[in-house]
Amino acid sequence: MNLTSGFNFNLPTTIQYGVGAVSTLGGLLSSKHAERVLIVTDKGIRRAGIIENVTGTLDRAGVKWEIYDEVEPNPKDYNVQNGAEIAAAVKADYLVAVGGGSPIDCAKAMAVVAVHKGAIRDYEGPENIPGDVLPIIAVPSTAGSASEVTFSAVITDVARKYKFSLRSTRIAPEVALCDPEMTVAMPAALTAATGMDALTHAVEGYTALASNALADAAALHAIELISGNLKTAVADGSNMAARAGMLLGSILGGIAFSHSDVASVHCIAEALGGMYDAPHGVCNAVVLPEMMAYNMAYCRDKYARIAVAMGIYEDDPDAGARKAVDAVRQLAADINLPRFRDIGVREADVERLAENSAINGSNVDNPRPMAKADYVKVLRSMMNA
C-alpha cells in the first residue's frame, strides 16, 4: 500500500448497534417529526414474525405505517417501480427497510424513483442521482449484505437478465438500527449464505485495488469476527454472542468494501444472479475460494494477513496465503453450502456470463487484471471441479 496516496472516507449512516436497538425506531421517527412511513420488506420476513418488532414500536410512538412486502430476492426493477408508486401514493415521510440486502437495496432504489420519477435504470452508475431522496432507516435481519451501512444498491434488470448498481451517498440509510436479536430467526442455510457474503465483502474490500488503510482495518477485523463466529451461528442460531459477532463482522465488511470496492467474485456472482436469479450469498460463497486461488500471485501478502486474521500463523507468506484460500474453502464446506455445479450453470451461457462479469464496474479493482477470457477460464474451471 502506498501510504502517501489520498483517499476519502465518508460514513453518512448513523449506526445504532445493540440488543434491543430496534425498539428505539418509533421514538427516533417521532423525533424526526415523521407522520407516516412505508415499511419495505419481503414475504419471508413477515412470515418469520419479526416485523411485529418494528410495527410495535411505531404504534407505541403514534407513527402511522403501511407495508410494501413484495420485494423479491435479487430485487427486480419492477419491485422498485411498484414500491416507489406506493411510497408516493401514501405520502411516506420515511422508508423503513427491514430485512436483508434485497429489501434494503430495493428501498434505496425506491427512495430515488419516489422523488425523481422515471425508471430506476435511468439512475444506473456512480453519482447519477440528481438530488435528495426519501430518507431511509434500515433494520437488518441478516448478517451478510451490510446494505444498511453502504451507499450502493444492486437491482436486477429483468429484460436484460443483468444486475446493475446505483452508487451515491444520497441513498445511504440515514440510520441503521443493528440489533442482533433481529437476526436470530434466520435459518441455518440463510445464515451460512449471508455469512459467506459478508466474508466476501471483507476479503474483496481488503484486496481490491481501491483499498485504503481505513478500509483495510475494517476488513481485517471483519474477517476475524466472521471466520470466528460463522460456524457457531449456523450450528446454533440462538447463540447471541455468535449472532452479534456476525452482525458486527458484516457491518465492518460493508464499511470496508463501500470505501474500497468489491472485485471479480462479485462480478461473477452478479452475473450469475442476473442470469439464473440465484441467491447472491450462495453465488459469492461458491466463487470466493476459486477466485482467491486465481488471484494468488497478485495479493500473496494480503492473503497471508487474511490467514492471520483467521487464526492461521505461518512464517512463510506463500504458505500463509495458500492456507487462507484453503481455510475459506473449508469454511464453505463446513457450513454445507452448495457447490458451483448446484447453481445449474449451462455451458451455452458461459460466454455471456463472462462478458457480463467483464463489463461489471468492479472488474477494474480486481488485483489480477481480468478480461472476458479470464472469466471464461474461471467459470469453466468451476464447472469441471
Domains of the chain: 14-183 (3.40.50.1970), 188-384 (1.20.1090.10)
Sign of CA dihedral 128, 284, 272, 95: negative
Closest by Cα among 328, 380, 329 to 354: 380
CA distance 223 to 203: 7
Count of CB atoms situated within 10 Å of the CB of 68: 24
R_g over Cα of the chain: 20
Residue type (1 letter), 355? E
Measured at the CA of 91, the angle between CA 117 and CA 172, to 5 degrees, comes to 60
Q: Tell me the three cell numbers of residue 170.
A: 444520497
Query: In the chain, which ranges are E strands?
Result: 14-17, 36-40, 64-68, 94-99, 125-126, 136-140, 152-157, 162-167, 175-178
Question: Which helix (H) or strand (E) segment is 278 a member of?
Answer: none
How many Cα neighbours within 13 Å face the side chain of 217? 3
Q: What is the mean pLDDT of each run of 10 residues along the chain (385 residues)?
A: 80 97 98 97 94 97 98 97 98 98 98 98 94 98 97 95 94 98 96 97 98 97 99 98 98 97 97 94 94 97 98 96 97 93 92 97 97 98 89
CA distance 233 to 245: 9
Torsion of CA 140, 141, 142, 148, to 10 degrees: -10
- Residue 1's pLDDT is what? 65
- Residue 86's pLDDT is what? 98
- Residue 385's pLDDT is what? 77
Closest by Cα among 45, 261, 32 to 140: 45
- Residue 5's pLDDT is what? 78
Residue 146: exposure state from Cβ atoms within 10 A (0-12, 13-18, ≥19): buried
